[in-house]
Structure 1
Amino acid sequence: MGAQHINLVPPQVESGHFDELLQAGQTISATTSPFDNSLAVFLSPTNISGSNSSSNQEEPVYFASYDVIPSSERRLFIADTQVIFSMFHDMLEAAKTREPSWLQSSEALELMRKFSVDYVNFIKECWIHASQPMARADGPLQFSADHYRSLYSCFSLFVVLYLPEPGYEDAPVGEELMEWLNIHFIEPSTEEGDHLSSLDKPWEDVEFWPYLKRVTLRGLTKASLFFFNTLLQHPSEDLQDLAKSIIPVVENQPRLQNFSAERDFAFASRRWKDKVKAIRIEMDRVPEDCRFDEFENWWDSLSDIVGILEGRSSVIQRVCEDLGADWKEVCAAWGIFVDSRLRRQDLVDVAAEVLENMPPDPTNLEDMIHSALFLGKPEQALRHASQLDTWLSAHFADVMEPLGLLESDEPAESELSKRDEYVLSYAEYLHSDPTQWKITIAYMYSCGDIGRERADEILVRVPLKLHPSETSGTPEEAIAQAVKEISEVCFNHQREAVRRTVCRIAAQSCVRQKEYGLAVSYCISAEDWVSLGRVIDSILEEYIKNGAADFAKQASKIAPSLQDIQFDSATEAIFVHRLIFAVRYSQIHRYKLEKDYVSAASDIVTLFREEIAPKSWWPVLLCDSVELLQYGPALLFSTSDAAELLKKLEEISIRASQGSGDDYLSVLVRTIKGGGEKDALERLKVVRLALARYFARCTVGSNKLAIPSS
């Protein structure tokens, strides 16, 4: 992950031939994707303004990524550990309301330990799952079981060394280290023990003494006692007597967990050491010629075991080397046998001494991380962890910072803390999978201004799934769901400006899909009044292009947006009035389709009187009134209403004669296919004639005015 080089297959240029490409006037270019962290790599001319003989030839475009997109089992690991990450940061956010020193309190350390143990437990589950044959049923895993085992050992060691249980910060660490070693690096194997225990005379097996040394060194009391008891049947009476002396010593070795006070543990340990010394004295009394059996020098092997119990560091180190053990086993045994009261702060010096003679494996990142943690070098551990898995370095750094384990000085050139560097590196890896956008920005938003800016850029580029084929619902439902999710994220991270930008983008997408109701609501939510005006224009365009029925259907979707709309400035009022016009005008056509002519006539007059209708739509409204003016059964307009219509008609005629016809007639002209201003004026003559006849009917008074029904 986070590769420095990307290998293209097949290569665009063979190794060592790049100069030939330059001589041909070409070079390799790349552009990043706004969708994820992939690249488009292609050949391009070195001189853009110059001509190139191959410029007309088709060239391949490679799509490459810095990271392999997480597979299904990896995505599960990422998603579940992000839950722990979020809870950890909720705790840190809550800490900001407390005293600055609270993060160093026992309460805070206990919470940080709890979340870190949660990480450890979940990594363990992933390791166990990846070890099962069923996990590989669909093919090889992206990350092996051994990879998760490495994460497990590293994070659990970090907890042991840097996050002890509250109140035990200064307690001896040896037993915890040995427990960690026995959990993560099981030696000797169960198979070896089963084999030796099945023998009548196990001491005759070449692996007997190495096995007994190892279980003694590891503090595996049950196994060591079992095989010490078998020595009671050994042909050598000297060995039998020594075994009888060793058995109670091994069985009764003091354990810190069995004492309520460290002082009592220390006293018991000194008395126990005296008993071990007595065994040494007893061993030295065994004559030289009695120290062998038919197979080997049992005395030397038993002397090594007693040397371990005595806490002789040189013996422990030599035995570990003979057994193929490494420095970790020496350090753990040191805290059990050499210095049973070894503190965490003193472990650094012990580890440095041991590692000087038994250095870690530089080719094994797991071992390098372990050694850095033992040596009290968390930043060095982070560097190795980032090479093993950016997940590990990010979550290490995230916990290390509040513990005060990282340098607080921020480098001026990047303005990023060390913690943020590692977390952002992990977030960039997540960005390789666009479907993980929620998780990606959760990590980015935790990384100061730079992280927030990067997260904002990702958030505004989240693809809105607009087509039914891409979702389980309609396009309208898909857009609404996407915007809802993004809005929730913006609210949680206090990114109001980003939310408004996303609403503007969503509105544009909705207009393309003719989802005008959503488009209007998103414009209002974003308080983008200019875009609202464009949406209204698109709705009104439906009337011009597709007629009244289609317009009424589309415009009906925006009516609910009028209910809760509020505006404060004159600029907003202009666009809101246009919205009101579109809704009210669509209602007129719905009334006409439903044959509710009374309501239609009333609304036409209202649009004029309340100055809701734009002047460019006056002629269209007047033409719509012709059908209502000619309605036979009843008079739909009062005399004053008809006078209002005539007044608007006169203004249009006068302004058109004065050269301002385009201000009034542009929309009507567009409804007349192939017509012009002259044709529009001719159509208005029909309105004038209808009004003249209507006034005549009013004068005669043969019919009563229609009264709108309740």
Structure 2
Amino acid sequence: MAPKASSSLLPPLFEQGSTEEFKASGRTLAVAASPRDGSIAVYPTNNKAPQFMKAGYPKKQPIYFVAEHLAPDAERRTFLSDTSVIFNVVQNLVKTARARKITLFDNGETLGALRKLAQDYVNFCKECWIYAAENKTADTLQFSDDHYRQLHTCLSLFTVLYVPEPGLEGAPAGEDLLDWLNTHFVEPSTDEGKHLATLDKPWEDESYWSYLARATLRGLSKASAFFLETLSKHPSPYLQDLSRALIPILSNHPRFSQFSSERDFAINSRRWRDKVKTLRVELDRVPEDSREDGFDNWWAWFSDIVGVLEGRAEVVKRVCTDLGGDWKEVCVAWTMFVDPRLRRQDLPDIVVDILDDLPPDPTNQEDVIHSSLFLGKPVQALSQAAQLDVWLSAHLADMMEALELIEATPTDDSDISLRNLYIIQFAEYLHSDLNLWRHTVDYLCTCGDIGMKMADEVLVRVPLRLQSPKDSTAASEESARIRAGDLAGVLKEVNASCFDHGREEVRRMVCKAFTREKEYGLALSYCASAEDWPGLGRIVDRVLNEYVSQGPSNFARSVANIAPSLHALRAQSKSGLNGVFIYRLIFAVRFAEFHQRKVNQEYMDAAGDVVAMLKEEVAPRAWWAVVLCDAVDLLQNHEIMPFTTSEATLLLHKLEEVVSRSSYGAGKDYLAVLAQCTKNGDEKFALQQLQSVRLALAKYYARALDVVPV
């Protein structure tokens, strides 16, 4: 389980025993939850009208912040990020298998792929275990090395029991379980073996026979053979002969992996067992008075070792117990000696009887999880894993559902499957760290409609960091890029996450927020990145509406930050599918530049903008009348002649088209925008304004032809 934050209020709000006084003061405690990271603010507030408050109570009181989970530290965050990559690959594998209507656990290819991914989880846990062990003296790690060791043993056991090598699902499980036990719970110790190896007469050491018995149980044939060889110097000739006979038996213990078929394995196992029986006969012939050597009853120990090899269940249990072994050692020894052909699916029937005599340690969460996995109780194992670490329960549940070990549909009225329940719990833990929002969304979006809606709430609250800190040069540069219309940083990631998970509605909500704040450059880039061309068109309409509602100056300032985006958008429009929206944007930018040049007194360039907008048909017909009216002051400028005669003729032709078409009932197409800009808002008044354009053009022609003196 993730570490919990303290629920105590520190410093205390009031002294112990002062609860009634606090209530009498007219105060109570209020709670406010943060949707960003799940933290909670607890604070005192008025419970009565101010005039009834007890006098003398301090007006300012502290606010306490608490959270269910402590945010992950740097090392933990790295672990979570790395394993999330594996999780995403698992989702793709399951999605592909279901699309192809493949039963994942019944297909060698998909089962092999899932086994590899499960092993990747195991390896990451091992790496974190090693790292934490090497850095435990730093006293800065949020999770100890033993915590990651426990994750490692649980995941590797799950892999051994439930995700075997393809084709070996129905094969004997003993050898795989023995490898797991020897890897994670090393016995006998290496130091003990080194100590015995230095002795001339190791059998005189009190640990000799226990070491030999443990090595036999663990299938350590080389170590067993080495120490049996030392008995060639033992004073008992009986023991010398028996040890020489036992060495090849231990060394040639049949392993399933050594044979091409289970039939061959079974035949060799029977032959090997016959040799053990022969050794038992020889052992029983040793006289009673020759069974001790003055240091120990060697015959009793040797008999126990032979009893284990014979597969006598009561001997296996007793020897494991006497050596301090637990139920796991008995279970594994059972699969190696008592029933070497035992399959995974039959293991729970044996384990339940063993656990009656040797129950798991209820205070050891790792041991309890192991027992549930051995018993074939995945639901119970998940519940226990959640108490150890929500990461473990989430990723086990994900693989269990893929393998159909747990139901994929809700089993109660909650509408949440067991797998989704644990994934959501883990996502809530991730939510405690704002830096992990992308992973939080990735996990939630695999949990059906409920998870998707939760992911939406996370996405709309991701801090976009548009305001850069003054002391951060890099952040300032990023902010400048964003405000210039270039998607970067967190904003780019939010957009990518929305696209990856098909959260179009959320993406539009973010875009609307930009529009409300008049961050038009951001909004346009956001729409373009998602190829939402109708949305881009709506934003351009909002931009142009700035002219109608706020006037030319404010319009020019609003459009100033979208010009840098235009080049990239035009490159995207080469296909022609979104050309209509891009042309409207081009007009907005060109129209804003026109007004800015007039403000800067760049009249010749401003006149060029007017001609270009009309000649190249950049300006929509509804805006022709507006462009013509705004060009009047250029026509009336007596210091320069900004238009050539042909250009003035172009203006006149456009004016005539607007007036004539409007008079024939097309006023909505030509005068709608100009009408909105007038006080009365009607076409009649708009036509009157165009008369001033006609007069300005007539005078301009006169000046151009030098008929009327300037």
Q: TM-score range by the shorter chain?
A: 0.7 to 0.9
Could you tell me which residue of structure 2 aligns to residue 113 of structure 1?
Answer: 115
Residues 553 and 398 from structure 1, CA distance in 2 versus in 1: closer, same or farther, beyond 3 angstroms?
closer
Secondary structure of 2:493's counterpart equals helix
Could you tell me which residue of structure 2 aligns to residue 89 of structure 1?
Answer: 91
Letter aligned with residue 225 of structure 2: L
CA deviations 1:23-66 (Å, max 9, x no partner) are 54433322222222222222233458985448871121222222
Residues 542 and 235 from structure 1, CA distance in 2 versus in 1: closer, same or farther, beyond 3 angstroms?
farther
Q: Report if aligned partners of 2:320, 2:329 keep a CA contact under 8 Å in 1.
A: yes
TM-fit CA distance, 1:438: 1.6
CA distance in 2, matches of 1:392, 1:359: 23
CA distance in 2, matches of 1:382, 1:99: 27
Verify: 1:494 aligned to 2:517, yes or no: no
Verify: 1:626 aligned to 2:636, yes or no: yes
CA deviations 1:475-497 (Å, max 9, x no partner) are 24246124433333222222222
CA distance in 2, matches of 1:49, 1:615: 62
Q: Report if aligned partners of 2:362, 2:368 keep a CA contact under 8 Å in 1.
A: yes
Could you tell me which residue of structure 2 aligns to residue 475 of structure 1?
Answer: 479
Task: State percent identity of aligned pairs.
Answer: 42
Q: How many residues align?
A: 671
TM-fit CA distance, 1:307: 1.7
CA deviations 1:112-157 (Å, max 9, x no partner) are 222212222222222222222xx45864322222111111111111
TM-fit CA distance, 1:97: 2.5
TM (norm. structure 1) is 0.82
Equivalent of 1:73 in 75, 96, 102: 75
Residues 491 and 687 from structure 1, CA distance in 2 versus in 1: closer, same or farther, beyond 3 angstroms?
closer
The correspondence of residues 131-150 of structure 1 with structure 2, limited to 5 A, is 131-132=133-134, 135=135, 139-150=139-150
Residues 532 and 42 from structure 1, CA distance in 2 versus in 1: closer, same or farther, beyond 3 angstroms?
farther
The correspondence of residues 506-585 of structure 1 with structure 2, limited to 5 A, is 506-508=514-516, 511=518, 518=525, 525=533, 527=535, 532-536=540-544, 553=560, 556-557=563-564, 563=570, 580=587, 583-585=590-592
Q: Report if aligned partners of 1:249, 1:276 keep a CA contact under 8 Å in 2.
A: yes
CA distance in 1, matches of 2:317, 2:525: 73
5+ residue gaps, structure 2, are 663-673, 681-689
Alpha-carbon RMSD across the aligned residues, in angstroms, is 4.2
Residues 520 and 221 from structure 1, CA distance in 2 versus in 1: closer, same or farther, beyond 3 angstroms?
closer
Could you tell me which residue of structure 2 aligns to residue 419 of structure 1?
Answer: 419
Q: Please identify, of 113-122 and 43-52, the stretch whose mean Cα deviation from structure 2 is larger.
A: 43-52
Q: Report if aligned partners of 1:174, 1:336 keep a CA contact under 8 Å in 2.
A: yes
Q: Report if aligned partners of 1:503, 1:522 keep a CA contact under 8 Å in 2.
A: no
Equivalent of 1:485 in 493, 510, 518: 493
Could you tell me which residue of structure 1 aligns to residue 594 of structure 2?
Answer: 587
Letter aligned with residue 158 of structure 1: F
Verify: 1:313 aligned to 2:320, yes or no: no
TM-fit CA distance, 1:551: 7.5
TM-fit CA distance, 1:664: 5.2
Q: Please identify, of 451-460 and 14-23, the stretch whose mean Cα deviation from structure 2 is larger.
A: 14-23
Q: Please identify, of 67-76 and 18-27, the stretch whose mean Cα deviation from structure 2 is larger.
A: 18-27
Residues 413 and 274 from structure 1, CA distance in 2 versus in 1: closer, same or farther, beyond 3 angstroms?
same
CA deviations 1:153-199 (Å, max 9, x no partner) are 11111111111212212211111111110000001111110011011
CA distance in 2, matches of 1:68, 1:609: 57
CA distance in 2, matches of 1:535, 1:547: 7
Verify: 1:410 aligned to 2:416, yes or no: no
Letter aligned with residue 175 of structure 1: E
TM-fit CA distance, 1:535: 4.0
Could you tell me which residue of structure 1 aligns to residue 605 of structure 2?
Answer: 596
The correspondence of residues 35-46 of structure 1 with structure 2, limited to 5 A, is 35-46=36-47
Letter aligned with residue 392 of structure 1: L
TM-fit CA distance, 1:215: 0.6
Could you tell me which residue of structure 1 aligns to residue 282 of structure 2?
Answer: 282
Could you tell me which residue of structure 2 aligns to residue 182 of structure 1?
Answer: 182
Could you tell me which residue of structure 2 aligns to residue 670 of structure 1?
Answer: none
TM-fit CA distance, 1:87: 1.2
CA distance in 1, matches of 2:585, 2:279: 101
Letter aligned with residue 701 of structure 1: V
CA distance in 1, matches of 2:16, 2:351: 45
CA distance in 1, matches of 2:613, 2:261: 93
Could you tell me which residue of structure 2 aligns to residue 428 of structure 1?
Answer: 428
TM (norm. structure 2) is 0.82
Secondary structure of 2:402's counterpart equals coil
Residues 604 and 53 from structure 1, CA distance in 2 versus in 1: closer, same or farther, beyond 3 angstroms?
farther
Could you tell me which residue of structure 2 aligns to residue 673 of structure 1?
Answer: none
CA distance in 2, matches of 1:170, 1:71: 43
Could you tell me which residue of structure 1 aligns to residue 195 of structure 2?
Answer: 195
Residues 371 and 597 from structure 1, CA distance in 2 versus in 1: closer, same or farther, beyond 3 angstroms?
closer
Q: Please identify, of 235-244 and 207-216, the stretch whose mean Cα deviation from structure 2 is larger.
A: 235-244
TM-fit CA distance, 1:361: 0.6
Q: Report if aligned partners of 1:390, 1:422 keep a CA contact under 8 Å in 2.
A: yes
TM-fit CA distance, 1:256: 1.6
Could you tell me which residue of structure 1 aligns to residue 683 of structure 2?
Answer: none
Q: Report if aligned partners of 2:126, 2:152 keep a CA contact under 8 Å in 1.
A: yes
Residues 51 and 405 from structure 1, CA distance in 2 versus in 1: closer, same or farther, beyond 3 angstroms?
farther
Residues 217 and 96 from structure 1, CA distance in 2 versus in 1: closer, same or farther, beyond 3 angstroms?
closer
CA distance in 2, matches of 1:525, 1:6: 50
Residues 204 and 43 from structure 1, CA distance in 2 versus in 1: closer, same or farther, beyond 3 angstroms?
same
Q: Report if aligned partners of 1:411, 1:417 keep a CA contact under 8 Å in 2.
A: yes
TM-fit CA distance, 1:370: 0.4
Secondary structure of 1:40's counterpart equals strand
Q: Please identify, of 344-353 and 586-595, the stretch whose mean Cα deviation from structure 2 is larger.
A: 586-595
Verify: 1:9 aligned to 2:18, yes or no: no
Letter aligned with residue 471 of structure 1: A
Q: Report if aligned partners of 2:215, 2:221 keep a CA contact under 8 Å in 1.
A: yes
Equivalent of 2:64 in 29, 48, 62: 62
Residues 664 and 232 from structure 1, CA distance in 2 versus in 1: closer, same or farther, beyond 3 angstroms?
closer
Letter aligned with residue 587 of structure 1: F
Q: Please identify, of 617-626 and 322-331, the stretch whose mean Cα deviation from structure 2 is larger.
A: 617-626
5+ residue gaps, structure 1, are 567-571, 652-660, 668-683, 705-710
CA deviations 1:58-114 (Å, max 9, x no partner) are 121222222121122212211221111111111111123213546532232222222
Residues 83 and 270 from structure 1, CA distance in 2 versus in 1: closer, same or farther, beyond 3 angstroms?
same
CA distance in 1, matches of 2:439, 2:120: 18
Could you tell me which residue of structure 2 aligns to residue 678 of structure 1?
Answer: none
Verify: 1:300 aligned to 2:307, yes or no: no
The correspondence of residues 445-456 of structure 1 with structure 2, limited to 5 A, is 445-456=445-456
Q: Report if aligned partners of 1:117, 1:159 keep a CA contact under 8 Å in 2.
A: yes
Residues 321 and 636 from structure 1, CA distance in 2 versus in 1: closer, same or farther, beyond 3 angstroms?
same
CA distance in 2, matches of 1:99, 1:348: 30
